[in-house]
Amino acid sequence: MAIPYPHFIATAKAALDAGLHAPSSSAMLSQDDLKKIAAYKAVEYVESGMVLGLGTGSTARHAVDRIGELLRQGKLKDIIGIPTSKKTHEQALSLGIPLSDLDAHPVVDLAIDGADEVDPFLNLVKGRGGSLLREKMVEGACKKFVVIVDESKLVNFLGGSGLAMPVEVIQFCWSFTAARLQKLFQDAGCVAKLRVGEKDEPFVTDNGNYIVDLYFERSIGDLKAASDAILQLAGVVEHGMFLDMATTVIVAGELGLTVKNK
Ligand SMILES: O=C[C@H](O)[C@H](O)[C@H](O)COP(=O)(O)O
């Protein structure tokens, strides 16, 4: 059940610190406000001394900002951040968050990150912003993975938004790999497209790879089977389905906050 904002805001110091005031109507909250509310709620899970996975994207950015702020205020101490992208690395550095990596810290206490889609079983699609491989490595190594979304990210089934399901592929013969991916899901009406960035050049990930976006007309059915089939293709590095990884999903919606636990 959703916690209505007036109640949440009256009881959550974090939201007040965020400069969010009890809304007289939900119309006062923008999508970015919702992302920020979810992010600040997630940061309540952070304790001094933790090794933290720092997510990527417009929602996770608020959580990283908040962690930096609490460190500056001395309300959090001895945090070590493991960034999931170059962009987050830069953001965390600029905030003075001490950073490390999985080589030095193979066990991560808690990761906080956004998602592009969340299904009713807390399976996710991630990577529409171009980060997925490092996210999957860091979030796969964490004891607790808190996902933060606004309610527009909720879907009945993965791929159900009609938007991309990203697959990171090596550059070599990417077109061959894209064709094989499309064939794999032809029953779901799959169309595979190379992601392009600025100047119509292929988008290149932090790891020097390309992304092939898969679009589905229908459900792909068994997600585990789909995941295994994708990963079996030589040329595929990783895909954006995060199955059975999230331990908590915090959803900020028009009517309030909902916390879903695995
Ligand atoms: O590639 C990007 C990451 O997977 C993001 O966490 C995901 O796309 C959600 O991003 P946003 O919070 O900007 O919607």
**8 A C-beta contact, residue 51 and residue 139:** no
Residue 11 has pLDDT above 60, yes or no: no
Write the burial class of residue 225 (CB in 10 Å: 0-12 exposed, 13-18 middle, 19+ buried).
exposed
SS3 166: strand
| Domain 5-155+244-261 sits in CATH 3.40.50.1360 | yes
More reliable by pLDDT, 28 or 156: 156
pLDDT grade, residue 28 (50/70/90)? confident
Distance 159 CA to ligand 1 centre (A): 15
Phi/psi of residue 28, nearest 5 degrees:
-75, -15
pLDDT recorded at residue 10:
41
SS3 52: strand
In short, whether 248's Cβ falls inside 6 Å of ligand 1 is no
Would you call 238 a catalytic residue per the annotation? no
Residue 43 token pair? 């940061």
* The ligand 1 atom nearest the CA atom of 60: 12
Q: What is the mean pLDDT of residues 196-218?
A: 95
In short, whether 161's Cβ falls inside 6 Å of ligand 1 is no
Alpha carbon nearest to ligand 1 atom 3, residue: 127
In short, whether 53's Cβ falls inside 6 Å of ligand 1 is no
Q: What rounded mean pLDDT belongs to the chain?
A: 92
In short, whether 12's Cβ falls inside 6 Å of ligand 1 is no
Alpha carbon nearest to ligand 1 atom 7, residue: 115
Alpha carbon nearest to ligand 1 atom 9, residue: 115
Chain-centre distance for alpha carbon 128: 9
Alpha carbon nearest to ligand 1 atom 10, residue: 57
What topology is assigned to 165-239 in CATH?
A: Alpha-Beta Plaits (3.30.70)
Write the burial class of residue 152 (CB in 10 Å: 0-12 exposed, 13-18 middle, 19+ buried).
middle
Distance 114 CA to ligand 1 centre (A): 5
Name the active-site residue from 44, 47, 90, 135: 135
Enumerate the domain spans of the chain: 5-155+244-261, 165-239
Distance between CA atoms of residues 180 and 114, nearest Å:
29
- DSSP character for 154? B
Residue with tokens 């792909």: 220
Distance 19 CA to ligand 1 centre (A): 23
pLDDT recorded at residue 2:
64
pLDDT recorded at residue 212:
98
Residue with tokens 């990963």: 231
Q: What is the pLDDT of residues 216-251, one digit of tens each?
A: 999 999 999 999 999 999 999 999 999 999 999 999
Residue 100 token pair? 């490390």
Best residue among 64, 116, 249 to mutate for probing ligand 1's pocket (most ligand atoms within 8 Å of CB) is 116
pLDDT recorded at residue 255:
86
Distance 113 CA to ligand 1 centre (A): 8
